[in-house]
Structure 1
């Protein structure tokens, strides 16, 4: 009887060790937040290749933390998405759009997965008079950032993948209750 009890304890201990090992092995495969230094190193490297970094933002999603970097060069506006896992830091290039200086606002980003927009405001009147830049989806979900006089680039992002896929988004610049600019993308 003592031998079978000891055997049961050994098997139970073995199962517990295997369970904890599996958990930590699985959790090491998940994405992790990038440090400020890792993001800054990436930005410095990109600046050497003649990119202007307009904005960077860490998205603290529980299952998919990542960093978004909004950039422009002489002809294009685009984003980079950075993720970190046990494999290291991965860089993904998001959507690039040609810069059109006649548009008051330029938008790049993605509506699939975790929706995000990179917004570049070229109209100085919108920067000076606007209080917020906002994205709004068909279901009424809104993400809003305050406009700063010394900033032209903004990143608006949800933190999770929505239950219903996004088909379009409305971008607005708002002052109080007044809409100064709006367009659907």
Structure 2
């Protein structure tokens, strides 16, 4: 009798645990990775509204998959962040900055959450001579991308939220160990 009662309590406990777990899994906004086609459809839609897409990056990290899209129009530079959940694809507009072609590079992005920068290089000398563009945080963490002669837009991103919030970032264009341009944001 006692073992039958214990077995019933164990089964009831397991049923409650499975039920609660299922509820939270079903109701959570678990983000899913975006397909290349979903990103391309979004980009095509934005191009119809006269936006120039400079770069896209599909961040496939497990906890926070999302896509970053760097764009410009005649007057501003900005980003879109795309996420995909059970409810569908959501677009979030990032920070827009006015385009100032007198600056050698322009930067937009966010340091909170998963830090990312959208970078638009307007100085042709930096594009021709630079080997890579890099963002470096105060703790020494670096993210870098190679510079291509036919590309002016770059997205630099950490893949997961950092343990300590980011307060500033230094952006540099480098040729091997030589710094061609640097600025703190």
* Superposed pair shares fold, TM > 0.5: yes
User: In structure 2, how many angstroms separate the alpha carbons of the residues matched to 1:140 and 1:8?
Assistant: 53
2:153 match = 153
Summarize the alignment of residues 79-118 of structure 1 with structure 2, pairs less than 5 Å apart. 79-118=79-118
Which whole-Å CA distance do the structure 2 matches of 1:7 and 1:167 have between them?
54
Partner Cα separation in structure 2 for residue 120 and residue 20 of structure 1 = 45
- Deviations along 1:99-143, whole A, 9 cap, x unmatched? 111111010001111110000011111111110000011111100
TM score, norm. by length of structure 1: 0.91
* Residue matched to 2:66: 66
Distance 1:33 1:50 in 2: 27
Q: 1:160 to 1:17 in 2, by over 3 A?
A: closer
Task: Find the counterpart in structure 2 of residue 130 from structure 1.
Answer: 130
* TM-score calculated relative to the size of structure 2: 0.91
- Give the alignment of 1:1-185 within 5 angstroms: 1=1, 4=5, 7-8=8-9, 11=12, 14-15=15-16, 17-18=18-19, 21-22=22-23, 24-26=25-27, 29-185=29-185
Structure 2 unmatched runs, 5+: none
When residues 7 and 112 of structure 1 are mapped into structure 2, their CA distance, relative to the original with a 3 A threshold, is closer
| Runs of 5+ consecutive residues of structure 1 not aligned to the other structure | none
Partners in 2 of 1:32 and 1:168 — Cα distance? 29
Q: CA deviation at 1:87?
A: 1.3
SS in 1 for 2:26: helix
Greater Cα shift, 8-17 or 33-42: 8-17
How far apart are residue 158 of structure 1 and its match?
Answer: 0.6
